[in-house]
């Protein structure tokens, strides 16, 4: 483990798990049970949570609530349109974060009412205290929705709660306060908080039964280090794990040193926030780039996904991440994985490639390759290809190849054997070109390949590529060309271009 990661873990432990000093028990207010009508009656008439309607993306918002009888009309609430209610998370400085306004602006392009549940007064506390407050906030959200139903016949099924971090669990409690006849339509959890929630029963956190449909995006779980800023376990009908759900591209902990010099202690939340907040920006991206939606695929984990073994869309095994997710509840949670870029638009195109080597080479070198893909859009993209171990004869290797560009339908594939680095690379190069001892084109140094098989995740199209001359071997520093094959029962023949 690197020193930067060690420092970060210590800092996160200080920030997020200080509540252990107060005991693991969350108090009677968080004990899992379904609340009854008597709970609602105990809530004061003026709620602790401020509910703001944000017509036309107004930054200040317009407050609504039962204590303001004419506020719905005055604030321009449109009962014929759905309500999207944003619920922020724990606050370190008592101010709304910038992503709130970005999400409001993105939602403002849709025919929806956009609202904000402002619970900063209860969120700007010691983390464990804020956790104890979320039951009350969830109760007040539920009261607001029941008031909308009573005053304007607005159905909770037309409500979409979007909760970030601790706000995701607030959404879950809001759903638990609604009975089956008044169930919330959809809840989206954006990197739901992990500390004091990981491993807890469904009644103590966001869960699939809190709304008709629940989706979640996990971007900073860090579970492999024994710590989770965001919760790792599935909490929804569809749980998306971009890039495995741990670290996100562009969110490097090496940046912590640079931020410490520039921002002092403010560098800590800046570094943590990058991956934790990525869930929000992936959701915003789904609103802003309708022509570049990201797809996740059901898989047992990132290791299998990295081999390209999970690009299957049958029986609900894939779905669109973000606002346009296919709302299809399942009895059991589905965990979906995908790769993203480091910045918006985040979508990549997922391909599985199967490569079969018919021989093995007498070399201590573990070959590295570059795969060049050319499609009907006449765009070529080159990507490094790592097989993970030495070449074994008659073994088929499967690998995930993510492309940032849309190359269209694949028509040609080039496989180049790179020299590699260090002594192994030098040894390979010398063996390939030395004029003495062995023939530089000896079969001992060349790789014989079978046909390449490919599958495009986004289109579900399967393709086969074969070489014009099957006897040609691939040598270090050389490139071999494969064309789309005509597949029949007898042979594989290159297609004419």
pLDDT of residue 142: 98
**CA-based torsion, 71, 73, 75, 81: positive or negative:** positive
* Enclosing H/E stretch for 414: strand 410-418
Print burial letters for 102-124: b (CB count within 10 Å at least 16), e (below 16). ebbbbbeeeeebbbbbbbeebbe
Token pair 């009261």: residue: 143
DSSP helix/strand/coil, 203: helix
| Complete DSSP assignment for 82-118 | -EEEEE----SSSS--HHHHHHHHHHTTSSSEEEEEE
CA nearest neighbour of 383 among 373, 396, 397, 398? 373
Q: Can you tell me the distance from the alpha carbon of 217 to that of 235, in angstroms, rounded to the nearest whole number?
A: 10
Contact 19, 196 (CB under 8 A): yes
Q: Starting from the edge strand earliest in sequence, which strands make up the sheet with 159-164, in order?
A: 62-64, 50-53, 113-118, 83-87, 159-164, 186-190, 213-217, 238-242, 334-338, 295-298, 318-320
pTM here is 0.86
**Which of left, alpha, beta for 318 (phi over 0: left; psi -120 to 50: alpha)?**
beta
Token pair 């870029």: residue: 341
Contact 287, 340 (CB under 8 A): no
Paired tokens of 357? 């080597």
Q: Which residues pair with 50 in a beta bridge?
A: 118
The residue count of the chain comes to: 497
pLDDT of residue 59: 60
Active-site positions? Answer: 165, 191, 276
Torsion of CA 301, 243, 340, 356, to 10 degrees: -50
Alpha helix segments (H runs only) across 124-277? 127-152, 166-176, 255-263, 267-276
Cβ-based neighbour number of residue 95 at 10 Å:
10
**Phi, psi (deg, nearest 5) at residue 106:** -65, -40
Q: Residues with Cβ < 8 Å from 406, sequence gap 6 or more?
A: 349, 375, 377, 379
Cβ-based neighbour number of residue 442 at 10 Å:
15
pLDDT of residue 251: 85
Q: Can you tell me the distance from the alpha carbon of 321 to that of 310, in angstroms, rounded to the nearest whole number?
A: 16
pLDDT of residue 26: 35
Contact 121, 136 (CB under 8 A): no
pLDDT of residue 43: 41
**Which of left, alpha, beta for 196 (phi over 0: left; psi -120 to 50: alpha)?**
left
CA 72 to centroid of chain Cα atoms: 36
Residue 303 counted as an annotated binding residue: no
pLDDT of residue 386: 83
Residue 317 counted as an annotated binding residue: no
Q: Can you tell me the distance from the alpha carbon of 410 to that of 485, in angstroms, rounded to the nearest whole number?
A: 11
**Phi, psi (deg, nearest 5) at residue 52:** -115, 135
Contact 476, 396 (CB under 8 A): no
CA nearest neighbour of 176 among 384, 36, 318? 36
Cα distances from 481 to residues 95, 221, 361, 412, 419, in angstroms, run 57, 41, 20, 7, 18
Q: Can you tell me the distance from the alpha carbon of 47 to that of 55, in angstroms, rounded to the nearest whole number?
A: 22
Please give the chain's pLDDT, 497 residues, in tens. 443 344 344 344 444 434 333 333 333 333 333 344 444 444 445 789 999 999 765 567 899 999 998 999 999 999 999 999 999 999 988 899 999 999 999 999 899 999 999 999 999 999 999 999 999 999 999 999 999 999 999 999 999 999 999 999 999 999 999 988 899 999 999 999 999 999 999 999 999 999 999 999 999 997 544 556 999 999 999 999 999 998 899 887 665 566 566 666 666 666 678 899 999 999 999 999 999 999 999 999 999 999 999 999 999 999 999 999 999 999 999 999 999 999 999 999 999 999 998 887 665 557 789 999 999 998 899 999 988 667 888 889 999 999 999 999 999 999 999 865 444 444 455 554 554 444 445 556 788 898 999 999 999 999 999 987 767 788 888 999 999 987 654 445 555 44
What structural domains and CATH numbers belong to the chain? 3-338 (3.40.50.1820), 349-494 (2.60.60.20)
| Complete DSSP assignment for 135-149 | HHHHHHHHHHHHHHH
């Amino acid at each position: 483990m690197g020193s930067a990661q060690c420092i970060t873990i210590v800092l996160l432990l200080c920030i997020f798990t200080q509540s252990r000093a107060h005991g693991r028990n969350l108090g009677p207010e968080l004990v899992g049970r379904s609340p009854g009508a008597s709970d609602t009656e105990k809530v004061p008439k003026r709620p602790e949570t401020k509910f703001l309607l944000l017509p036309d993306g107004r930054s200040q918002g317009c407050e609504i609530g039962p204590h303001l009888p004419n506020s719905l009309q005055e604030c321009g609430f449109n009962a014929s349109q759905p309500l999207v209610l944003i619920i922020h998370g724990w606050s370190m400085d008592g101010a709304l974060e910038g992503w709130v306004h970005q999400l409001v602006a993105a939602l403002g392009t849709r025919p929806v009412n956009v609202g904000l549940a402002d619970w900063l007064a209860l969120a700007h506390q010691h983390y464990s205290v804020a956790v104890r407050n979320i039951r009350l906030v969830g109760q007040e959200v539920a009261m607001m929705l029941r008031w909308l139903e009573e005053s304007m016949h607005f159905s909770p099924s037309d409500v979409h709660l979007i909760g970030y971090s601790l706000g995701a669990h607030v959404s879950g409690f809001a759903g638990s306060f609604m009975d089956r006849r008044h169930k919330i339509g959809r809840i989206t959890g954006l990197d739901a908080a992990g500390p004091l929630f990981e491993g807890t029963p469904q009644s103590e956190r966001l869960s699939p039964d809190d709304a008709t449909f629940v989706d979640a995006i996990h971007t900073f779980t860090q579970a492999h280090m024994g710590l989770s800023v965001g919760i790792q376990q599935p909490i929804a009908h569809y749980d998306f794990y971009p890039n495995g759900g741990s670290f996100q591209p562009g969110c490097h902990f090496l940046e912590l040193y640079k931020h410490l010099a520039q921002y002092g202690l403010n560098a800590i939340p800046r570094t943590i926030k990058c991956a934790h907040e990525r869930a929000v920006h992936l959701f915003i991206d789904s609103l802003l780039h309708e022509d570049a939606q990201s797809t996740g695929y059901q898989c047992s984990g990132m290791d299998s996904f990295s081999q390209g073994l999970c690009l299957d869309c049958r029986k609900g095994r894939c779905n669109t991440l973000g606002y346009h997710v296919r709302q299809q509840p399942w009895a059991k949670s589905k965990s979906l994985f995908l790769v993203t870029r480091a910045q918006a638009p985040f979508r990549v195109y997922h391909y599985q490639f199967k490569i079969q080597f018919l021989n093995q080479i007498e070399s201590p070198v573990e070959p590295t390759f570059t795969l060049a893909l050319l499609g009907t859009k006449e765009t070529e993209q080159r990507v490094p290809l790592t097989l993970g171990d030495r070449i074994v004869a008659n073994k088929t290797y499967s690998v995930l190849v993510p492309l940032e560009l849309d190359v269209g339908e694949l028509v040609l594939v080039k496989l180049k054997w790179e020299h590699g680095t260090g002594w192994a690379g030098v040894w390979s190069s010398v063996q390939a070109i030395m004029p003495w001892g062995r023939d530089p084109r000896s079969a001992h140094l060349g790789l014989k390949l079978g046909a390449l098989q490919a599958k495009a995740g986004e289109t579900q199209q399967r393709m086969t590529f074969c070489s014009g001359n099957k006897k040609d071997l691939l040598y270090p520093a050389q490139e071999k060309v494969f064309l789309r094959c005509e597949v029949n029962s007898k042979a594989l023949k290159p297609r004419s271009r």
